[in-house]
Structure 1
């Protein structure tokens, strides 16, 4: 990849562990600067993560995850400085969607590179930026997508969908698919060898 770009990753307590750790590490490995923020928390503070797994029950199971250290302050960010926004899932989107600053941030990326996985569709719906757009999410978020006017993409759990600059996926098994699609939306060229 040529050139360094900055990405913004929005976190909150009980964000899904894999959905914050893997994108942060993968995009950093590709040369991006990934600033991680959470409303009400500062650089150096932590968010608690939760590990969600699919173990044959009617819904996912949840276990304690890690303490993820934030590296930027939510209140100090300037969205114009970022090439894209990443919204991981877990339980965090449920309460983050009540924050007017979060909704304004998500709206600022409505026509810019934006990746949302799993329950992050709750943020997209609350920001009202998905009307008429094809959006994937964890299946329990289908009503949120449809009530916000989105077209729910019922895809495999390891797949992703791109609609313009918006990349969405149902859960962490889709990391290879959504990360590849998000990198393409960002205009990055990855060369191995």
Structure 2
């Protein structure tokens, strides 16, 4: 009888890779018991890769009932982007905008 070996997949990653193209296969393969290792040139173990969602179809303001903006350094980046500020203004015109913020005491 042949031995059962666990399958493995190596994923080449990098900043601003398409989010769905890495996240969906990663979790699907893991759900089937496949070992998934992600590597990225120039990054050390434990470093993160930033992802991007390039398909904005369906993400228009009128498609949603509320906008959630997480706190942290992201706020500064978002406030410098005219498209993002315009999106927030569309929500503020009649839909709830929820923000979170925490500080260390």
TM-score, normalised via structure 1 length: 0.27
Name the structure, 1 or 2, with higher relative contact order (CA <8 Å, separation 6+).
2
Structure in which a larger fraction of residues adopt strand: 1
TM-score, normalised via structure 2 length: 0.48
